[in-house]
Amino acid sequence: MKAMGSLNQHSDINTFAPELKNCSSRPSGGDLALMVNSEIGAVLAVMRRNVRWGVRYVADDDQLEHSLIQSFKELRRKIFSWQHQWHLINPVMYLQPFLDVIQSDETGAPITGVALSSVYKFLTLEIFGLDTVNVDDALHLIVDAVTSSRFEVTDPASEEVVLMKILQVLLACIKNKASLKLSNQHVCNIVNTCFRLVHQASSKGELLQRISRHTMHELIRCIFLHLPDIDNTEVSLQDVDHTSGSKQQNNGHANSERDEKTCSVGVSSNVSTDTSEGDENIMEVGQGKEAAQSGDHLMKEPYGVPCMVEIFHFLCSLLNIIEQHSGIGPRSNPIAYDEDVPLFALGLINSAIELGGASFAHHPKLLALIQDELFRHLMQFSLSMSPLILSTVCSIVLNLHHHLRSKLKLQLEAFFSCVLLRIAQSKHGASYQQQEVAMETLVDLCRQQTFMAEMYVNFDCDISCNNVFEELANLLSKSAFPVNSPLSAMHILALDGLIAMIQGMAERTFSGLPASLSLEDYQPFWMVKCNNYDDPSQWVPFAHKMKFIKRKLMIGADHFNRAPMKGLEFLQGMHLLPDKLDSRSVACFLRYTTGLDKNLVGDFLGNHDEFCIEVLHEFTRTFDFSNMNLDTALRVLLESFKLPGESQKIQRVLEAFAERYYEQSPHILANKDAALLLSYSLILLNTDQHNAQVKKKMTEEDFIRNNRHINGGNDLPREYLCELYHSICMNEIRMTPETGAGFPVMTTSHWIGLKHKSKQSAPFIVCDSRENLDYDMFRILSSPTIAALSVVYDHVKQEDVLQTCIDGFLAVAKIAARYNLDDVLDDLVVPLCKFTTLLLPLSVEESILAFGDDTKARMATVAVFTIANKYGDYIRGGWKNILDCILSLHRLGLVPTHLASDATDELDPAPELERGRAAAAPPLVSHKPSLITSQRSSSLMGRFSQFLYLDADEPAPQPTEEELLAHQRSLQAVQNCHVDNIFAESKFLQAESLLQLARALILAAGQSYKGNNSVENEDIAVFCLELLIAVTLNNRDRIMLLWQGIYEHIANVVQSAVMPCTLVEKAVFGLLRICQRLLPYKENLTDELLKSLQLVLKLDARVADAYCEQITNEVMRLVKANAMQIRSHVGWRTVTSLLSITARHPEASEVGFQTLEFIMSDGALLLPANYVLCVNAARQFAESRVGNIEQSIKSLDLMANSLVCLVRWACKTKEAVGEEALALAKMYQDISEMWLRLLQGLRKVCMDQREVVRNHSILMLQRCLTGMDGIHIPNELWLQCFYQVIFTLLDEILQIAEDNSPKEYRNMETSLFLCLKLLSKVFLRSMEDLYQLSSFFRLWVGVLGCMERYMKAKLRGKRSEKVHELVPELLKNTLLVMKSRGILVEDDSVGESFWQLTWLHVKNISPSLQLEVFPEHNKAGCSPLPDGNLVVQSSET
């Protein structure tokens, strides 16, 4: 008996014999003839080796050749005549002999193999092409011949060789350029034959198995590579609907009729005469009843969509073996068979999708297969315990997502929620390998540019979908946490996913913050639609609104789950339900809101309340049961809630369902009562079949019998009832759907519900690379990401993973800054600062060595300061942590001590100031090497050795090379931090961030100096204060933002200081620097700034004394640079108060006076606002004995010369007109007051113990009293001047002269002399103006009284001759002037007249003056009475 060969496959092995690739040009006619002749010779040579093919004898001894040999010889005679016409030659003419050999059952394997090799050569060399005559028939003949090849098997090896060559030829047919002429049927035959060979090769050698599988893959690739080139209007198998398969599928059957029975072998049945037992179960392509229904004309067309539909459906059908199970639950393992077949089928499907790509969407039949059958199988196989199968499924889903996501919205949601997220969380009892595969897939998705945005907008912003993006973010975050276990590859993988999502956001460009949303009026949320899902300007606001609504709905669902009516009330308050509830809105809330407790929904809908019944009917109207079998409709309904347990509630629910179903599907059922009864029957059948407590199950006949006469008195069709029976038996209607948010475990019922839901689902929104939704996503993602990054960074040691974490931190910071999320940046800074290890309580040397050896700490430190420099605008509370790191670096000596001065563009104080400070301040540190000295060390070796050895009694050894390297690494890391830029660039910080930075500095400084008074704490406080001043100077335009806090801090330092120290020194001179720098630019703040200098006046005496000279120098610099900016009384009061203090300080007096002299010398800087203050300050210097007498004299000159300013101002007031005149009139009054204050100041100096100063002061006073020519002094002011200044002066100086010895007050006689002359001159100058006053009489008496006292005065017990001579002379001169001006005239009135009183007092001074002044009285015989009364003339007696 003859043994014939048969066929087999394994994937991805490229072990074909070398193929001749497409040649650059076709061989010439002569060459082709030689090639064909060569192949003829090869076949004949092999045939002649067998005696059977030699010669054949007949009865008459005539020799005859076998017909196969004759055909070759005949061909030989023809080929050389076709030299230049090969493309016009029918290829069948030279192919037929070879094909006859292939099809002959008389040939052995070697002969068949050579013939196949010849055909293969013709195909690969493209002897015929698209332009060749009758090429389609030739290809069809080749396919028919090869697929029906028969040969005699002599040994297994030769059989496998022939089978491999068959595979080669079939693949070459598809790869040939003329393959476009192949018909749909022949392509199906090729695939079918190859698959049979794959199947049969399982019993053959390994090589054949691998080659057959590879060939199958190549065939699928070649066929579906053609899909993008096919016009999407091409006709496909019109009568085949593979998406639904049959009514049984729609009703919940998992297996179609063709799946339940094996298909016939069809055209490839004669590939082998020795078919193995397993061949009977081989499914075939294009041989089922669907292909027959499609018509022969489509299958004979050039191949395209029809054959691809058949092939793809065939590949999907290879996965149907899983469907013997009713569903897949968390504990089931349905794939208990060899994974070889599904793996092979999945690989082929993946190849088809890879090559066909997005073109599947253009062909409804192919797309429908993917949407339903393929995805259903993928969902089921993904729960296999085989990581290899899961990996292949995930690869397919990745390709589908990439190419067809817009057509697979709910399918992808189901896969992500039911499969990837659950497996990655180790649900369904998934192994670690499965978790890793799922996590890798999720991470691969995250790396795609638009994946996150599309998940968020299509699912998280859809009220009827799960929050896939949020669940994914939480999963990746939790999976990155090594909880009670070491860090594993899974943790790193999850972290990669998070970072991929974050970096994807960071790389996108910023387009602005989303607008805030609110719902002020009620609008049916289920009716909100987007006008254009392709236009971002429309769908982005729509997505924001829907997410806002969904958040509120989720809160409402939570309230509903606790108390249904309160939940509805809450939604009314949120304007998501109308103020007056209606059944439609409540029904839609229950229908479309995720997260509701389905038990409560069922109870609510089944309630007997009239409103609940209305809601129930509205609820059922939201379903579309058109063209849906009853059990399918029931499954869809019960997916949305749990059927109540109470019979009356069940009755109400099923009545509403039956009414809706009959309304939409009245074809079989007679009325809604029939629908109700049949629904009840299905519920009972479901319980009977799937309740383990029911032992005796209902049979099909029982079910049919139970439902007799329910259809309006008639029976329902038996086929219809059988179909329902089998549907319920094979696939349970789950009566207890999963509660709450999240996706249920996928069952057949759930899949049917998903298909129904997809018809009503909003379109899939395809996002571009813009960051339309990044803000919302980042708010969800930021906290989990920071937490995950922190945990991983804390546990990991590998530098590449550390760098990945740092990149993640920086990406989070970038996005947070983009959206002004200061809380996120603060949360980010805190863990990073912890990782720097700078905050650990270690010694200096330990800290430096640890920091230098710790790569993680250095990387974190650089990251902290990178964030501070780049995104400081949005840091708030995080500044405190950053500053703690800076202070630690300062403590370790790793930041330069001149950091604060580097942060500003101003040089350090002048050298003489530094010298002054050094001299004034006591030493702060001992001679032993200490922390402070180490920080000041400029030598690396010296500094480090001081850190290591602080004992001065022992020589400090040299640090080791490792220690030096560690220190060098520390310095390099800090250098890369650019700490100084934080403060130097603080002028660019946003106001709130700047304020927080300043507060952090103040807090750190305050904590340091309020703690223990160690040198280290003071150094920290000084450093913080310097940084604070640097920040202030760099932000002069925003000084008011910072000023209050800075001032209060400096005030606390100044007022708490009782001894000179560096801190108070920095505070005082820092304050002065601020004023010096800001006064030229901030005129509106001049008073505030100068007022702050009053703090200097509050210094403890010891502190003030130590720094007085330096303070005065700074004040002088301030005044010289900014005198023109100081215009107010408050400002000048501060300046003059500071200068006045220096008047009595030995070192500061000279500088203070120089400053005052600068202000008063030319009068340009004297103002009404500072006049009195400057005069008082000058008086202080005049009275001071610290300086030399010359300084006092100059001070008096300054006071006297200031009179010029008063005159000048008075002149200006006279020239003013209008409103200005009113203002200047007030000023004129003020000028008079200033003049009086000047006089009073000079009067006080007139009491000076020093003769020169005293006398010069009297002269200056006289000058000021008599030099007011340009000023009109009111009479009242003159009187005030006499009584408060002149009379007081004369009395006081006389008192001093009488009471003190000449040693104490030398030459007082001259001073008295000068005072008398001053009195006389001033009285004579003002006499004419004052004469008209009623008080002039009293003034005159006062003048006379002064002269009388001076006349009677005795110095050292005797009277002064000089004064005694001067008084009568001055009096006489005064009387003569009064006489000449008609003031002193004889008065005959009785009583105390002016005349009488004058002479009464004059008599006491000099009795002879009356006769000297009025000699005519003597001639008239009048003389004064002895008692002082005037003598009355004789004529009057």
Take residue 14 and report the two structure tokens written for it.
Answer: 């490229």
Helix ranges (H only) for 176-253 are 184-200, 206-225, 247-250
Written as one string, the DSSP assignment of 582-614 is -HHHHHHHHHH-TT--HHHHHHHHH--SHHHHH
Residue (of 636, 616, 581, 888) closest to 757 by Cα position: 636
> SS3 of 1359, please?
strand
Radius of gyration of the chain (CA): 56
Q: DSSP state, 420? A: I
> SS3 of 733, please?
coil
Q: How far apart are CA 831 and CA 839, in angstroms?
A: 12
Q: How far apart are CA 813 and CA 758, in angstroms?
A: 39
Contact of 410 with 364, CB cutoff 8 Å: no
Take residue 442 and report the two structure tokens written for it.
Answer: 């999720």
Query: Exactly one of 65, 646, 1016, 1233 is catalytic; which is it?
Result: 646
Q: How far apart are CA 1178 and CA 1164, in angstroms?
A: 16
Residue (of 749, 707, 745) closest to 727 by Cα position: 749
Angle at 100 between CA 95 and CA 102, to 5 degrees: 95
Take residue 724 and report the two structure tokens written for it.
Answer: 């329902």
Residue (of 639, 667, 645, 646) closest to 657 by Cα position: 639
Angstrom CA distances, 1300 to 1247, 1303, 1310, stand at: 12, 8, 15
Could you tell me which residues come within 8 angstroms of residue 536 by beta carbon, excluding any fewer than 6 positions away? 767, 768, 770, 772
The H or E element spanning position 469 is helix 468-479
Angstrom CA distances, 893 to 726, 758, 849, 933, 934, stand at: 84, 67, 13, 10, 7
Confirm whether 1109 is a catalytic residue.
no
Q: DSSP state, 19? A: P
Contact of 242 with 369, CB cutoff 8 Å: yes
Contact of 877 with 996, CB cutoff 8 Å: yes
Residue (of 1292, 1209, 1308) closest to 1243 by Cα position: 1292
Handedness of CA 710, 711, 713, 714 (dihedral sign): negative
Q: How far apart are CA 952 and CA 946, in angstroms?
A: 9
Contact of 1039 with 1032, CB cutoff 8 Å: yes
The distance from CA 1086 to its chain's CA centroid, rounded to whole angstroms, is 40
Take residue 976 and report the two structure tokens written for it.
Answer: 């890369």
Take residue 735 and report the two structure tokens written for it.
Answer: 């009566």
Q: How far apart are CA 1159 and CA 1181, in angstroms?
A: 14
Take residue 19 and report the two structure tokens written for it.
Answer: 């193929």
What is the biggest distance separating any 2 CA atoms in the chain, rounded to whole angstroms? 219
Q: How far apart are CA 539 and CA 522, in angstroms?
A: 21
Take residue 1124 and report the two structure tokens written for it.
Answer: 């023109």
Q: How far apart are CA 369 and CA 1201, in angstroms?
A: 108
Pairing of strands 1354-1355, 1358-1359: antiparallel
Helix ranges (H only) for 716-854 are 718-730, 748-760, 774-795, 799-818, 822-835, 844-853
Q: DSSP state, 1433? A: P
Residue (of 173, 208, 203) closest to 190 by Cα position: 173
- Residues identified as active-site: 646
